[in-house]
Amino acid sequence: MRRTKGAESMKNLMIGLCLFSGLFCLVNFAGAETLRLTLEEAIGLGIANSTTVQAKVLAVGSSKASVAGAKAAYYPVVSSNGTWSHLFMQPSTSLPGGSSYTAPNDPVSLSLDVNQTVYTFGKIKNAVRIGEKSLTLAEMNLKEETRKLAVDIRKAFYGYLLAKEFVRINEITIRFKEETLNVARKKYEAGIASDYEVLQAESDVTDFQPQLISSQNQVQFALLAVMDLLNVTSKEGFEVELIGALEPKFVTFDKQEMIKLALENKYDILNFRKTMEIAEVNSRIVAAANKPTVVAFGNYILTSGFDAESGKDKYWGQGSWTDTLTVAAAVQVPLSPLLPWSKERADVAKDKLDYEQMKLNLTTIESGVRLNIENLLLKIEEEKAKIHSREKSKELLSRLYRTTREGYTRGLVSNLELRDVETNLNNAALGYNLAVYNYTVAVILLYDAIGVDQQ
């Protein structure tokens, strides 16, 4: 049951979703009257159409960009600047031999600045780690959203199959009642039954009609629930039909193995652990607030020259430009975090306490997961026992119905007795299918509790 497909599995799934989406569009465009979907096809179509899943995909892309932004702090920051100025009154200085200009009339200055963080005592490194862990969390959210949608579609899909089974059973029952009415009429015509018996049989058929109609409506409601999850709307001349059978598929589970898988795969646990990891890295950044930061920077400036005697600007030729290169390093040491009453010290103490509280909360979450798995395993065994019991009951009542009907035809059994057997057989068949549905849903919920895709 362990799933190890990882990224390759997700890639294959997304390719499959695109195919399903294309198939749906093709069928719709072709004007087909009915789109028939198996369970897996319905899941693929639902995931492909889900706006929530698409939003999670965008969130993953955003997290990747955030990681790239955090890593950018490792590299130098380069900027350039160009300046042109015009002096309406060019300054000059009077000298014994004449005047000398002290500044150009239209100076041009070009500069290049480079800033590089040299060492931060892990601040940049931990910021990148937080970004990477946030990316992992976004990928987990995408996977979980996809898995949860598949769980919801499975439950709704089997709810639709259950509703169809109820219709089939009720149609069989009303057919039995109509056959009983025909027998009552023949007996009445033969003079061996009263008109009361005929009226009672007619009333029995009429009284059962609402139950049949109600079950038929339930099929439509169940189908609408599935289509809502698939994000598909019914259009004129276009219908969706779900293909499948409500049959018990018994599976044996090992409780300890299920708990182990849950602790390894359950989203609630993994999400909380990842949140704890982010909190731990963030506490390291807070603790490094009192550590110095070493930065280096360089500045290169080109400035246009001028002729001091004439005041004319010189942009070309030898000696036209002068340059200046400045290289320096700086150590920035925050002092306030060193003080015992500083906010930074209080934040460090708070982070430690919050982390210990999170460890306790994680224990509570793990205990809840274990308890849920144990309850679901008991529910599965309970529904399995109901399936066997009601299957046997259905078989016995089917035999009893055949015997009772034969007796009624021969005048040995009353209409009331036959009606009771028909009702009991109907209830047994409905109860059997309900037990199969409950068992199937319990298995779905068990996989959900473990946090893995159902095989």
- Residue boundaries of the structural domains of the chain: 6-74+121-290+335-450, 76-92+99-119+293-332
List, in sequence order, every beta strand (DSSP E) within 356-411.
none
> Alpha-carbon distance 333 to 16, whole Å?
55
Tell me, rounded to whole angstroms, the distance of Cα 247 from its chain centroid: 28
Count of Cβ atoms closer than 10 Å to residue 439 Cβ: 23
| Average confidence (pLDDT) over 213-231 | 93
Count of Cβ atoms closer than 10 Å to residue 29 Cβ: 8
Name which of 64-73, 243-252, 279-288, 364-373 the model is least confident about. 279-288
Model confidence at 187, in pLDDT bands (50, 70, 90)? Answer: confident
**H helix or E strand, kind and range, residue 72:** none
How far is CA 219 from each of CA 161, 203, 242, 315, 333, rounded to the nearest angstrom?
8, 26, 11, 86, 72
> Alpha-carbon distance 26 to 45, whole Å?
13
More confident residue, 129 or 7: 129
> Alpha-carbon distance 419 to 408, whole Å?
10
Model confidence at 117, in pLDDT bands (50, 70, 90)? Answer: confident
pLDDT score of 374: 94
Model confidence at 28, in pLDDT bands (50, 70, 90)? Answer: very low
pLDDT score of 97: 59
Tell me what the pLDDT averaged over the chain comes to.
86
- pLDDT of residue 34 exceeding 50, the answer is yes
Q: What is the DSSP letter of 392?
A: H
* Residue 257 amino acid letter: E
Length of the chain: 455
* CATH number assigned to the domain with residue range 6-74+121-290+335-450, chosen from the 4 options 3.40.50.10740, 1.10.10.10, 3.40.50.300, 1.20.1600.10: 1.20.1600.10
Q: pLDDT tens digit string along 430-452?
A: 999 999 999 999 999 999 999 98
pLDDT score of 103: 81
Question: Residue 117: phi, psi to the nearest 5?
Answer: -80, 125
- pLDDT of residue 422 exceeding 80, the answer is yes
pLDDT score of 96: 61
> Alpha-carbon distance 25 to 279, whole Å?
45
Model confidence at 5, in pLDDT bands (50, 70, 90)? Answer: very low
> Alpha-carbon distance 416 to 234, whole Å?
45
Question: Residue 414: phi, psi to the nearest 5?
Answer: -80, 160
Topology (CATH level 3) of domain 76-92+99-119+293-332: Outer membrane efflux proteins (OEP) (2.20.200)
Do 145 and 211 contact (CB within 8 A), yes or no?
no
> Alpha-carbon distance 289 to 282, whole Å?
11
Q: In the chain, what percentage of residues exceed pLDDT 70?
A: 90
- pLDDT of residue 101 exceeding 60, the answer is yes
Please indicate, yes or no, whether the overall pTM of this predicted structure exceeds 0.95: no
> Alpha-carbon distance 426 to 393, whole Å?
11
* Residue 261 amino acid letter: L
Q: b/e string for 119-147 if b means 16 or more Cβ within 10 A?
A: ebbebbbbbbbbbbbbbbbbbbbbbbbbb
- pLDDT of residue 106 exceeding 60, the answer is yes
> Alpha-carbon distance 40 to 56, whole Å?
21
List the alpha helices (DSSP H) in 231-303.
Answer: 255-265, 267-287
